[in-house]
Chains A and B, each alone.
Chain A
Amino acid sequence: MPGVSIFPISDVPFLSLFLNFYGYYLPFFLYATWTSLALVDISQNRFSSNIYKVLWTLIVTFIPLFGSFAYHLFVADQIHVAVRATMIFGGILIFTGIIVYLGYAL
């Protein structure tokens, strides 16, 4: 059958194997860290009304990744901005980097 051995698979470099494993789990790690730190921030945040606290808790809990992403970007003020920026944009950057590398390497 023509066109089957299209991937140069035989000698996969260690880095590709490693990043493939790491890249699969990274979004789960990001989800866990973003969500838990968002909840920590919400618990310490002085909202004008408790209704916001409840609302954001629901958003962060039930809209995975995007909810906590929005919270860290627009609302959070208890956790240092550098930590949040590293966590959010650093995470996205590393994930993008992995995909680009794997796409390039194979």
Chain B
Amino acid sequence: MKLVPFVIIVFLSSFVFFTACDQVNKEGFTGVRVIDNSYSPPVVRIYEGGKVRFFNAGNNPHNVIAVGEGWGSYEEIPKNDYLDVTFEKEGLYKYLCSFHASPEGDWGMVGSVVVGDIDYEDYSNFQKADAVESFSGEIRFVPTDYDTIQDAVNSSNPGDMILVSPGIYYEEVIVNVPSLTIRGVDRNKTIVDGEFERANGFLVAGVDGVVIENITARNALLNGFYWATVEGYRGSYLTAYNNGDYGIYAFDAVDGVLEHSYASGSPDAGFYIGQCYPCDAVINNVISENNGLGYSGTNSGGDLYIINSIFRNNKGGIAPNTLDSELLPPERESYIIGNLIENNNNLKAPAWDAQYISLGNGLVIAGGNNNYIKNNVIANHDVFGLVISAALDDNYWPAHGNIIEENLIINSGKADIAVSGVSNLRNCFEKNQFDTSIPPGIQLFNNCNFNILPMGSDLHGLWNLIARVINANTGNYEKGNWKEFDAPDPQPNMPIMKIVQNKDYNFEEFKKSIIPAVEVFEGYRNKLNEISLPKEAYKYFDKNSLQ
């Protein structure tokens, strides 16, 4: 009868473990990175009673003080230190850095905190009505009419086009006019260069409908292309390389498309869509390589499509994830279909600690629910091809209800498919072609038609993760310097611009290609039916029967 106390102890200990995990903890915060010389993101939204942590990741002295001095402090935040501010009441809180902005907060290093569910119009400079659906007919030429792209933006009205001739533009373009179309004449020769001094290549903050096309952004301290808190955006034929945080980045932004683009050499993700639900967004036909992550998306989902794209030679491949530090958890309902995800084991790729953790994994669903993963080819990863993992932040986020169908997952180091963590419920696997899984027989026992056995609690992947976290915290791992990657090979130009370069076009045809980003997702729906694998993926089928 000595068995009984043993069983009781096991029962009780697992209960204690669970209770600890299930507690709702309100210790979360929303992060703002303070750099030289801007706040990123410039607008954050939090719930009433929420906390914002201003982290100084720059080299210069910065502080955070309210416009009107109602809160914050003139005291400077030391480098790699932070200031926490809690906001109890609903409203708009504007702030600035007293070293790098005007005291009224109308220019320079300024930002806003939006607390609670206040109307959009209250915190953007323009009302939604100001986003216009069609081209105004005005084309502003850079550098013929204006010396810099920023000058052209400042002179523009909603619906205008800014056409940028080939050249290297040493500036940060802050777009504050809605429905602009900014386009380079030659994608590979029209370059916005941050010289490792300025924050972003392009920053679109709080204005809707802005389109950026056929242009390159490089050497920015943070992001190549950045849409923050907007409704309606499009990035087409963009190249972003050697940017210090993200390549192409949409945060708290809905109704958008990122397509035919390329990102490399970013220590965080090449492509990122985060904090939106429903996102109504599409990433189509992009290439992401030599980044910390190919794609990352925190707390995003709901009609979010990642299709027809290539994610290769990053530290980790694709990682939709859930975190308490940003709004709208959990990550959910992303549709990842028809992508090639290969060789994401790149020790030479740049990375922050959080990206290093995913080294050697193809597709990581960290605490995401109801994602749909279909027809992808995931090959040659040192750890897991596809891993469904719970996420532990302030809360414990199990990964539930993910559907994994008809993927080819081969040649992985530890397992092609893994489910990891405690109590990941109802993930199902159907018609995938793969060799190994942890726990074994996952597709047999957790088939989408026959899914009764509880198999979502294997801890193997968790041990692997813990080892990586420890390694990351020591900072003692191999990574490349994001400033030092080679320029990518020339990327294809926008078809209409190819014709324009050959001077063989009529103007009416050209005008038709200028479409402000309004109701982008609805207009894109028909293309979601034309999903096909990148042709580079077909080499993996030669050795396999799957078609």
Residues of A within 8 A of B (CB): 1, 4-7, 9-10, 12, 14, 16-25, 29, 33, 37, 83, 87, 98-99, 102-103, 106
Contact = CB atoms under 8 A, between A and B. Distances in A.
22 contacts: A1-B374, A5-B333, A5-B401, A7-B400, A9-B369, A12-B398, A12-B425, A14-B18, A14-B22, A16-B425, A17-B398, A17-B422, A17-B425, A18-B14, A18-B423, A20-B423, A20-B456, A21-B18, A24-B454, A24-B457, A24-B458, A33-B3
Interface in B35-52: none
A9 B400 contact: yes
A9 B424 CA distance: 11
A90 to B, nearest CB: 10
Interface centre among B333, B369, B454, B455 (most CB of A within 10 A): B454
Nearest to A16: B425
Nearest to A80: B1
Interface residues of B, number: 33
Q: How would you classify the secondary structure of chain A's contact residues: helix, strand, loop or mixed?
A: helix
Given A5-B370, A9-B370, A99-B452, 16 more contacts: A1-B337, A4-B372, A4-B403, A5-B333, A7-B400, A7-B425, A9-B400, A12-B398, A14-B18, A16-B425, A18-B18, A24-B455, A87-B3, A99-B453, A99-B454, A106-B426
B335 interface: yes
Contacts of A5: 333, 370, 401
Given A4-B333, A9-B369, A17 B454 contact: no
A10 to B, nearest CB: 8
A24 B425 contact: no
A18 B15 contact: yes
Interface in B322-378: 333, 335, 337, 369-370, 372, 374
Contacts of A7: 370, 400-401, 425-426
Contact of A20 (B369, B372, B457): B457
Contacts of B453: 23, 99
B400 A12 contact: yes
Contacts of B403: 4
Nearest to A24: B457
B10 interface: yes
A38 to B, nearest CB: 13
Interface string B399-422: 011010000000000000000001
Contacts of A19: 454
Nearest to A103: B452
Interface in B454-480: 454-458
Contact of B18 (A17, A25, A99): A17
A95 B337 CA distance: 36
Contact of A17 (B3, B22, B455): B22
A103 B454 CA distance: 10
